[in-house]
Amino acid sequence: MKTMKPSLLTVAMTAALSVSAVQAQGISDDKVKIGVLGDMGGVYADVCGPGCVTAVNMAVEDFGGSVLGKPIEVISADDQNKPDIGSAKVREWVENQEVDVVTGLVASSVTGAVTKVLTDAKKIAMITGSASHAFTTKSCSPYNAHWTYNVVALAQGTVKPMVQSGKKRWFFITADYAFGHALEKVASGVIGKNGGEVVGSVRVPLGTTDFSSYILQAQSSGADVVALANAGGDFVNSLKTAAEFGLTEMMDVAGLLVFTQNAKALDPNIAGGMKLTTGFYWDLDDASRQWSARFKTRHGSIPSMAHAGVYSATMHYLNSIKATGTDESDAVMREMKSTKPNDFFARNAYLRNDGRMVHDMFQVRIKKADERKNEDDIFEIEQVIPGDQAYGAMLAQCDFK
């Protein structure tokens, strides 16, 4: 019996059907589901809480609401800055609600617990609010994408130039959990490497409202600089107390992690002149201003770098699904690392094999009252710090190719 060879048309149709079938099967559960975990009402709510949910929804809408013909869903939860609550919620999302990726993630202690759950489940963590560098070093994972900033970039951008200018003696007021510990440790290393010394430190529970005893310790330390290794409401309260006690008149105060909302909440007579490092500023150029105006219309305030970062990460994730034809985590992470993100947030950016998103950072100065044109005119950009200078080298054990 003579075997008939398939026609070119038949081969082409078969191939097309095969590709279509692969793509259809490539989206698990017939949808892409994004979980946004953050602080919805606590000390970090302005940093990455409801605003991060808004930014993710904006990204999904701008993407078109679907990918490869399948809907994109967004759900969110409040982790209350508690690791047990955050990890339990994410485990429930993965096991019972078909969540494909989790983003937001602000308190580093929560992020540490959550990334363990996600790595075990082979799900991607897009970390956009946390500062600790552990997620690309000692706790690195092939499923971590650390997007917005970290303690290394903050210390390089803020601490190093102050020490080099002659501010040699430092005292730390540090948030007493993973983020604060990491920030103090890295900053102390930068201080020592550049000829300075740490003359003392005190650790403060997260969410403390009375900083008076800690400020008094700083005052008596003989330091040139008091470093606030905290963030959000803790930064605002500690700096207000420092001003009330006259510390800001005696010595320099360095905010090691300051978001625009926090700077805006402070009297310019207190915060004006402070230099700091950020990964984003809304008034950088036309692209950042246009997106930020849209965000403010939706959310009611200018965005923090965490809000801009979570939008950027979400868009890169969705584009990677589109390019690979699947939401399978390993394939998506390979694509995320092989394709450079390029948007109003990600400048000269690339996602390293260890999961660190390297991009330009900015050294800025908080404007004084007489410099401000309006209520949102907070920062003056003084220097662009190239990403390769801002972030530390990749560790060999975290090179997930």
Rounded CA Rg of the chain:
23
Specify whether the CB–CB gap between 128 and 104 falls below 8 A: yes
Give the C-alpha separation, 170 to 195, whole Å: 11
Whether 57 and 116 share a structural domain: yes
Helix (H, G, I), strand (E, B) or coil at 225: strand
DSSP character at residue 196: -
Written as one letter, the residue type at 72 is I
Is 135's pLDDT higher than 70? yes
What number is the average pLDDT over the span 19-42?
79
CA angle 194, 195, 197 (to 5 degrees): 110
Residues 373 and 227 in one domain: yes
Return the DSSP state at 246.
T
The reported pLDDT for the residue numbered 54 is 98
Q: Which amino acid is at 227?
A: A
Mean pLDDT over residues 14-35, rounded?
Answer: 65
Q: In sequence order, which residues have a C-beta less than 8 Å from that of residue 345 and are 6 or more positions away?
A: 279, 280, 288, 305, 308, 309, 311, 312, 359
Residue 241 lies inside a defined structural domain of this protein: yes
223 in a domain, yes or no? yes
**Which CA distances in Å does 80 have to 87, 110, 256?**
11, 9, 23
Out of 23-37, 259-273, 381-395, pick the least confident.
23-37
The arithmetic mean of pLDDT across residues 26-52, rounded, is 95
Residue 14, pLDDT > 60, answer no
Query: Minimal CA–CA distance to 55: which of 379, 233, 290, 304?
Result: 304
Token digits of residue 105? 């993630």
Check whether residue 350 and residue 221 sit in a common domain. Answer: no
Report yes or no on 4 lying in a domain.
Answer: no
Indicate whether 215 and 312 sit together in one domain: no
Q: Please, which residues bridge with residue 391 across strands?
A: none
Check pLDDT > 70 for residue 6.
no
Cα separation values, 255 from 45, 67, 82, 232, 354, Å = 19, 41, 24, 11, 28
User: Residue 361: beta bridge partners?
Assistant: 385
3-state secondary structure of 275: strand
> What is the domain-level CATH number for residue 236?
3.40.50.2300
The Cα–Cα gap between 150 and 279 comes to: 9
Q: What is the pLDDT of residue 321?
A: 98
Contact assessment for residue 59 and residue 315, using Cβ atoms and an 8 Å cutoff = yes
Order across the sheet with 169-175: list the strands. 197-204, 169-175, 225-229, 252-255
Q: Are residues 45 and 62 in the same domain?
A: yes
> Could you tell me if residue 60 is inside a domain?
yes
Average pLDDT for residues 18-45, to the nearest whole number?
79
- The residue type at 193: K
Cα torsion through 42, 263, 314, 94, rounded to 10 = -20
Is 26 among the domain residues? no
pLDDT of 5 higher than 90: no
Buried b (16+ CB within 10 A) or exposed e, 324-339: bbbbbbebbbbbbbee
pLDDT at 1 over 60: no
Looking at the domain assignment, is residue 12 inside a domain?
Answer: no
More confident residue, 392 or 83: 83
Q: How far apart are CA 148 and CA 38, in angstroms?
A: 15
Per-chain mean pLDDT for the chain: 93
Is the pLDDT at 26 greater than 90, yes or no?
A: no
Whether residues 67 and 186 fall in one domain: no
Regarding whether 376 and 299 lie in a shared domain, the answer is: no
**pLDDT for res 401:** 83
Q: What is the pLDDT of residue 10?
A: 43
Domain that holds residue 36: 31-149+284-359
Number of domains composing the chain: 2
Both 374 and 327 in one domain: the answer is: no
Domain presence at residue 239: yes
Q: How far apart are CA 373 and CA 370, in angstroms?
A: 8
Q: Are residues 381 and 262 in the same domain?
A: yes
- DSSP β-bridge partners for residue 101: 34, 124
The pairing of beta strand 197-204 with beta strand 379-385:
unpaired
Clarify whether residues 121 and 259 are in a common domain: no
Task: Work out the average pLDDT over 64-93.
Answer: 98
State the average pLDDT over residues 196-217: 96
Distance, in Å, from the CA atom of 235 to the CA atom of 218, rounded to the nearest integer, reads: 15
* Per-residue confidence (pLDDT) for residue 8, from 0 to 100: 43
Residues in contact with 15: Cβ distance below 8 Å, sequence separation at least 6, in sequence order = none
More confident residue, 383 or 22: 383
Cα–Cα–Cα angle for 180, 184, 187, rounded to 5 degrees:
135
pLDDT for residue 43 is more than 60: yes
Give per-residue pLDDT as tens, 309-355: 999 999 999 999 999 999 999 999 999 999 999 999 999 999 999 99
What's the pLDDT band for 18 if we cut at 50, 70, 90?
Answer: very low
Would you tell me how many other CB atoms lie within 10 Å of the CB of residue 379? Answer: 23
For residues 123 and 261, membership in a common domain is answered with: no
Does the pLDDT of residue 21 top 90, yes or no? Answer: no
The predicted model gives 50-76 an average pLDDT of 98
Is 92 a domain residue? yes
d(CA 351, CA 147): 8
- Least Cα distance to 184 among 152, 216, 214 occurs for 152
Residues 242 and 159 in one domain: yes
